[in-house]
Chains A and B, each alone.
Chain A
Amino acid sequence: MNEATVSVESRQSGRIALLREFWSYFSENRGAVIGLFFFIGIIIIAVFADFIAPHAPNQQFRDALLQPPFWQDGGQLRFPLGTDAVGRDMLSRLIFGARYSLFIGCVVVSLSLVLGIFLGLLAGFFGGKIDMAIMRLMDVVLAFPSLLLALVLVALLGPSLINAMIAIAIVQQPHYVRLTRAAVMGEMSRDYVTAARVIGVRTLRLMFITILPNCMAPLIVQAARSFSSAILDAAALGFLGMGAQPPTPEWGTMLAEAREFILRAWWVVTLPGVAILTTVLAVNLMGDGLRDALDPKLKRS
C-alpha cells in the first residue's frame, strides 16, 4: 500500500515536471506567449460579452445609421466604434462575434479531432485493407481544395452556421487521420507495445490507452492550426453567404453585409476583418509555440 502511494505521487510530480518543461520551452517563444495572452483575452471577452458590450448586438438605433467611430467628426461616445447601416453598435457586435468564432473553432476541432483520431487509429493499428480503404478515402477528400469542398457541402446541406461547421470539420479531418496513422505506426514497433501485447492487454485498451497518448504531440499542434483555419474558413463561408446568416454578428457575415459601404464607411468593413485577423494570428502564434515546445526534433536546434 505504501509503495502504491509513492508511485502515484511520483507520477503526479512527473506530470508537473513535464508541464514545467513544456512551459519553459513554450515561454522561450515570445510571440507564443503574446498569442496566448491575447487568446485568453478573447475568451474573457466572449464569456462576459453580456456585461462588456454596451448594447445588444442586434439592437437597432434608427437615429444613428452609419455613425463613424467616436474620434471622427460626427462620432459619439455612445457608439465607440460607430454603427452599421441599420444602426447597430459595431463594438457590441464585434464583442458578441468573438463568441461565434471561438465556438466555431471548438466545434470544428472537436469534431474533426475525434473522427480523425478514430479513423487514424484504425488505419495505423490494423493496417492492410482497412488502412488502404481509409487512406484512399482521405486522398479523395484532400483532392478537392478545402474551401471549395466546404462550399459545396454547405450548398448540399443548406446554408447555416451549423452546416458550415460540419462541412469544415469534414474537410479538415484527413489531416488528423494522416498524423494519427503515422504516429501510431511509429509507436507500433516500440517495445512497450509488444510488452503490452504479451501481457494480453485487450485491443481497445491497447489502442486508446497504451498507444494513443504517445501520439498526441503532433495532434495538439495540428489542433491549433485547424482552430485558426476553421475560423478563417467559417468567416469566408459567412462572407460568401454560405455560413452564419444575418443578423448573426459573425465576423465574416458582418463583412458580407458591409461590402456595399466599402467606399463610404471604412469602419464597417475594416473592423470585423481586424477582429478575424488578430484572433487567427493569436492562435497561429500559439500554434508555433506549441510546435516548438512539443516537437522533439526541433527542440534542441
Chain B
Amino acid sequence: MLRFILKKIGVLLPTFFGVTVVAFIFIRMLPGDPVMLMAGERGMSDERHAELMQQFGFDRPIIVQYGSYMADLVRGDLGTSIITKKPVLEEFLTLFPATIELSLFAIIIAVLVGLPAGIIAAVKRGSFFDHTVMTAALTGYSMPIFWWGLLLIILFSGILGWTPVSGRINLLYYFEPVTGFMLIDSLLSGQEGAFRSALSHLILPSVVLSTIPLAVIARQTRSAMLEVLGEDYVRTARAKGLGPGRVIGLHALRNALIPVVTVIGLQVGVLFAGAILTETIFSWPGIGKWMVDSIFRRDYPSVQGGLLMIAAIVMLVNLVVDLLYGLINPQIRHNS
C-alpha cells in the first residue's frame, strides 16, 4: 500500500511542478510588462517604472525570477495583493471557508438526492420514474448555472420573497468569525435568528452549485447499478432467495459505489468552476468571486496565487480519491 501511495505522489510531483510554471509564467506572458499593467490607464513616469520593476524583481533574468518565486512558495509566501496590500495566502485562507461551506453543502445535496434517484432509476429501469429522473438529470447537466441562479432568484427572492438575494448573512448580525463557517459561527454567537439567516442565505447558492454534480452523480449511479445488477453474483444472491432489499442494498450497491465514489471525488474541479459563477451571482464572498474580482481589478499576484492554490487543492483531492479507490479495490492497487 505504501508503495502505491508513493507511486501516486511520484506521478503528481511533476504535474505540480508544471502548475507552478503555469502560475509563474502567467504574469510574465501578459502583453507589456506587469508593472505597466498594474498602473493601468493612468500610466507612470519612467523613473517610477524602473523603481517598481526593481522592487518586484522583474528586471532579473527569468530563471532567477522563477527560482525566487519557488523559494517564496516553499516558505508559504504567495506574494502580496496589489489592491489590499495583504499577503495573498492570507486573503485566500480568509475567504476559503466560505467556498468550502458552499461546496460542502452543495455536494451533500447532490449525493443525498442524486444517489437514491440513480439507484431507484436503475432498479425500476424503463419505468416512468426512470425516464423522469434521466430527463431531469440530462437537463441539469445541460444547465447554464449562472442563468439557473438568476431564475431561482426571480422565483424565491423576487416573487415569493422567501430567501435573500445575496451575501452570507443578514447585516443585522455581527460576530467575529471563529471557524469561518457561517452556519457554525452563527450558532456559536448565540444570537437569536442568526443561524436561520445564515441558512437562508446558503440554500439557494448551494442548490445552484449542486445542479451539475447532482446530475452527474445520478447518471453515474444509475449506469453503475445497471452494470452490477446484471452480474452473476447478483443473480446468485437472488437465486439463494435473498429479498430485494438485501440484494440491492448489500450486494449490488456496495460494488456499484466504487465508480460513484470516484465520480464524486472528480466533482471538486466542477465545484470550483461552478463556484466562480455561483458566487458572482449571489455575491458570496468566497474564492470564486475573489478570483473574478481580482481578474477585473488586474490584481495579478492574487490571480496567480489563487490559480496555484486552487490547482493544488484539486490535485490533492484527486490524489485522496485515487488512494481511496486503491483502498476499496485491491485490483487497482496491484495492477499499477
Contact = CB atoms under 8 A, between A and B. Distances in A.
Interface string A166-187: 0000000000000000000000
A64 to B, nearest CB: 23
Interface stretch (A52-60, A112-120, A141-149, A210-218): A141-149
A92 interface: no
Interface string A208-241: 0000000000000000000010001001100111
Nearest to A147: B273
B276 A140 contact: no
Interface string A98-135: 00000000000000000000000000000000000000
Contact of B295 (A137, A147, A155): A155
Nearest to B131: A31
Contacts of B154: 262-263, 266, 269-270
Contacts of B291: 148, 151
Interface string B305-336: 00100110011000000000000000000000
Given A146-B269, A277-B139, A140 B15 contact: yes
Contacts of A259: 150
A2 B192 CA distance: 93
A151 B275 CA distance: 13
Interface stretch (A6-14, A70-78, A195-203, A281-289): A281-289
Nearest to B271: A145
Given A140-B18, A148-B273, A281-B138, A255 B292 contact: no
Interface stretch (B22-30, B112-120, B195-203, B247-255): B22-30
Prevailing SS type, chain B contact patch: helix
Contacts of B142: 228, 232, 277, 280-281, 283-284
B276 A148 contact: yes
Nearest to A150: B273
B144 A143 contact: no
A232 B292 contact: no
Contacts of B314: 143-145
B88 interface: no
A204 interface: no
A175 to B, nearest CB: 13
A263 B156 CA distance: 11
B158 A143 contact: no
A269 B150 contact: yes
B230 interface: yes
B85 to A, nearest CB: 21
Interface string A250-272: 00100100010011001001101
A232 B277 CA distance: 12
B272 interface: yes
Contact of B30 (A156, A240, A283): A156
A215 to B, nearest CB: 23
Interface residues of A, number: 43
B280 A240 contact: yes
A262 B150 contact: yes
Contact of B277 (A136, A147, A285): A147
A44 interface: no
Nearest to A251: B144
A139 B277 contact: no
B146 interface: yes
A288 B138 contact: yes
A210 to B, nearest CB: 30
B270 interface: yes
23 contacts: A136-B18, A137-B18, A140-B21, A145-B269, A145-B310, A147-B273, A147-B277, A148-B272, A151-B295, A240-B276, A252-B144, A255-B146, A255-B150, A262-B150, A262-B154, A269-B154, A273-B148, A273-B150, A276-B144, A277-B139, A281-B139, A284-B138, A284-B141
Given A151-B276, A263-B154, 8 more contacts: A31-B138, A136-B14, A137-B18, A140-B21, A147-B276, A252-B144, A270-B151, A270-B154
